[in-house]
Amino acid sequence: MPGLVPYHVTIVGAGIAGLTAACALAQRGARVRVLERAGALREVGAGIQVSPNAVRVLAALGLWSRFEAISLGSEQVQMRNAQGDLVARLDLARYRPKDHFRLVHRARLVEMLETAAHEAGVEIQLGHEIRDLPQDCDLVIGADGVKSVLRPLCNGFEAPFFTGQTAWRTLIPETGTPEPVAQVFMGPGRHIVSYPLPNGLRNIVAVMERPDWQEEGWSHPGDPDDLRAAFAGFRGPVPGWLAEVSEVRLWGLFRHEVATNWYRLPENGGPALVLIGDAAHPTLPFMAQGAVMAIEDAWLLAACLGSGRELVAALDHFKTLRLPRCQRIVGAANDNARNYHLRGPVRMVAHAGLRTLSRIAPAELIGRFAWLYDYDPTAEGV
Q: Annotated active-site positions, please?
A: 195
| Pairwise CA distance, residues 5 & 14, whole Å | 20
| Pairwise CA distance, residues 47 & 277, whole Å | 18
* HSE-CB for 274 with a 13 A CA cutoff: 28
Q: DSSP letter for 279, please.
A: G
Within 10 angstroms of residue 141's Cβ, the number of other Cβ atoms is 32
| Pairwise CA distance, residues 219 & 352, whole Å | 37
Q: Which of 11, 297, 301, 1 is nearest to 139 (CA)?
A: 11
| Environment class of 2 (CB within 10 Å of its CB; exposed 0-12, middle 13-18, buried 19+) | middle
Q: Do 71 and 48 touch, CB atoms closer than 8 A?
A: no
* HSE-CB for 363 with a 13 A CA cutoff: 4
CA 240 to chain CA centroid, nearest Å:
27
Q: Do 104 and 51 touch, CB atoms closer than 8 A?
A: no
User: Helices (H), strands (E): how many in the chain?
Assistant: 13, 17
What DSSP letter does each residue of 256-277 carry, written as one string? Answer: -PPPS--EE---TT--EEEE-G
Within 10 angstroms of residue 4's Cβ, the number of other Cβ atoms is 12
Q: How many residues does the chain have?
A: 382
User: Over the Cα atoms of the chain, what is R_g?
Assistant: 21
Q: DSSP letter for 4, please.
A: P
